[in-house]
Structure formats: C-alpha cells, structure tokens
Structure 1
Amino acid sequence: MASTPSRTGRQFQRYDQGCRQVVGCIPYRYKKTNQFSSIGGTHVEELEFLLISSQKSERMMFPKGGWEIDESMEQAASRETLEEAGAVGIVEHKLGNWSFKSKSQGTFHDGHMFPLRVTELLDSWPEENVRRRAWMTAKEAREACDHLWMKEALDRLVCRLKHPQPKEEENQRPCGLEFLTEEPRMSIVSQNGEEEVDRCLVS
C-alpha cells in the first residue's frame, strides 16, 4: 500500500462547544513467540501495542490527530494511524471519550480512542522522518505512554481483549479495575505540559 502525504492545517477540523475533537487508535497485534502451549502444542502468542514518538521529542504515545468534517470518526482514526505510525488495520469498537486541556494552547480537547488490529505495517509512511515507532508489551506501553488518558484507554483495551464482552457492555466499567472511574477527579499536568482531566467521558 502506498502512503499519501499527511493532512495539515486545522481549517476543516471539528469542534464541539469550543473543544477540538481529537481521534486516535491503539494499534495492536498478536505476535507468535518461541514458547509452545501445553494444549495443542501451538506457539504462544504475545499481545503487543504500537507506540510512536512525538514529532518534536522522544515522548511516546499512540497515534492521534484532528477529526475533520469530511470523514467519519473511524476514518479519521484510521487515517491518523496510517500517517503517524504507518499501520493499517481494522478499526474496532470505540474505547471511550476523554477530556484534556492543552497547556500550550489553553483549550480543552475531546479525545476519542479506538483499537486498531494491525494487518499491515508499511515500510514507508508520511511521517517516517519525524517519528519513530516501537512495539511494546502492555506493561511497557503503559509505562512509556506520556498521556494519562491514553494509559486509561490502553487499560480498557487490555481488559477487553482478555475478557471479551457483548458490545452493549463494552463501555461499562470493565473488570472492576479501580483506576478506571467515571467520577471526576483532580486535573494533573503531564510531563509534556498538557493538563489532563483525569476523567473518562464514555459516550
């Protein structure tokens, strides 16, 4: 698959009551290991997640960007993942909404995150010269990711993959994890200068 240039500018981006609408994906895959299962003798598969660096630093995160007026939310999430990470795949059921404030811009953003099961990883992609990408385990990804709201989305995805539920139940509080709550909590300023409202706004 040939890559196309990244979209630039914000003249076509969506806003809701002044909040910029941001969409992103958590790309994941199952990688076969050298270990064998005691049942059936097949290779044990390990769950991995693809993170990318910021354009201006080595801070790691999942692909995200503005949702534009000529595309669906899923299309925007898929496009951003291709542009920033060079990953193509299947966009799955939304993980939820998160509200965060950009300290540099002084505006609130609504972040919408989706899982994307990777089917192809491109050798060349639009932002290959300004980002690096890395596959990590769930523990490594949670430690490396610089955004609190993305960590929470990752927790939801890991829980969903390990404990599949009917779709109508996917946006309920999963697995009884205490760190996932829909109750408002205090804002925290992350290392990258973004004030992240530590609250999940599930649609």
Structure 2
Amino acid sequence: MSVKRALATMAVAVAAMAALTTPATATTSPSSKAPKEVVDIVNRINGNQANRAAKLLSDADRETLLKKYPEWADRIMDPDRAGEVTESEQSSGDGVSTMAYCPGFDRYINYYGVSGAKVVEWHHSLTYCIPDGTTKVQRTGRRTYLNNAVDNWERGTYRTNDEVGNNTTWYSSAFQEPIRQCVFNLPCGVWQYPYSKFVVNGSTRNVDYYYSV
C-alpha cells in the first residue's frame, strides 16, 4: 500500500483551494430503472476487478455512459479514478479551553463519478486535548463517516482501526475501511479501501497526516 503524507499546518490553505476547484456533487436522478446496457457495464467493471484487470472501465463503456446515459455517468463511481484527499481543519484549538489546547481535525477522501461529479466523501475525524503544562495527547473523539453520498454506500469491516499512545506525547489514529457504492437498480460497485492516519506530537503540537486511496 502506497501511503502519502500531508502536513496538517497546510489545512486551511488547502481547504480554501478545494472549495474553488472541487467538482460539484452529482444532483441528477435517473428517472427509471437502469437500462440493461448500463447494468451490463457495471457487471463488466465488477468482473474486471475480480480478474485484477489494470483498467476496470473500458473506453467504449465510458463513452457509452457519457454520451447515452449522462444521468448514470453522474452517479456511477469512476473505478479508474483515484480518490483525492481534502484537508480541512475543524478548529485551531485557540479559545476552546483556558486550561488546554483542544483542536479538532477532519480529513476526507473524495470519490467521483464517471462524469467527474463527486459521489461520496470518506472522512476521518479526530479531536483531542493537550492540557496546559503537559505534552500528553488526550484523545476525546475519533471516527470515520461518509458525507455527501450519492445513492447508498455499503461499509465493510475495518481493515485497520488502530490507536496508539493515548495520554502520551506521541499519539496516532489510523483507519482503513472498505466502502462500495450501491446505485439504485444496479449491482453494487467495486470496493474502495481508503486509509487515513493522524500522528500527533504533543511536544510541538504538530500533526502529520498520511493517506492511501
């Protein structure tokens, strides 16, 4: 698994850029049952994943969705487009408490439809406090959740659910959760395996973020 690293100190700037550049979430809704041609395309995608094909959606099938069934292209997740991370800091911790530094961080990975419209966000949220006069990181909350989901999404059992160093100077929280899209009247799509990890240094209050899509 290739894990990428991002600095939490860049969160505000990145979030501002993402607000300007992230494609809109799909809003169209297919008016009827999916045509057999669309069902067949999804079945071929799933078959290609099972066979470990390098490319899951063929050029011909992509063109068919975009030209003949744009409302379905908005909603069906593009299986060949990697998820893209967005970093947004919930709070800086300033003024949260007079006795402790208590920030909250939320990072999420965006997934997109064949047309480029966003179909879901997978979030990893972390809140903690560092009491004044100490370097100990005291976790107050951690979780994953889905947001802005188009259609239904199935969530599998965590592959990773690790927490190390609570109430110590070095703390980390990591999740990897299987998710897949189940579009109305279509077979469920291919599994995605987003991974996310926060590492907090209680001495410097720096936070590093690692992720894989």
TM exceeds 0.5? no
Larger Rg: 2
Q: TM-score, normalised by structure 1?
A: 0.26
Q: TM-score, normalised by structure 2?
A: 0.25
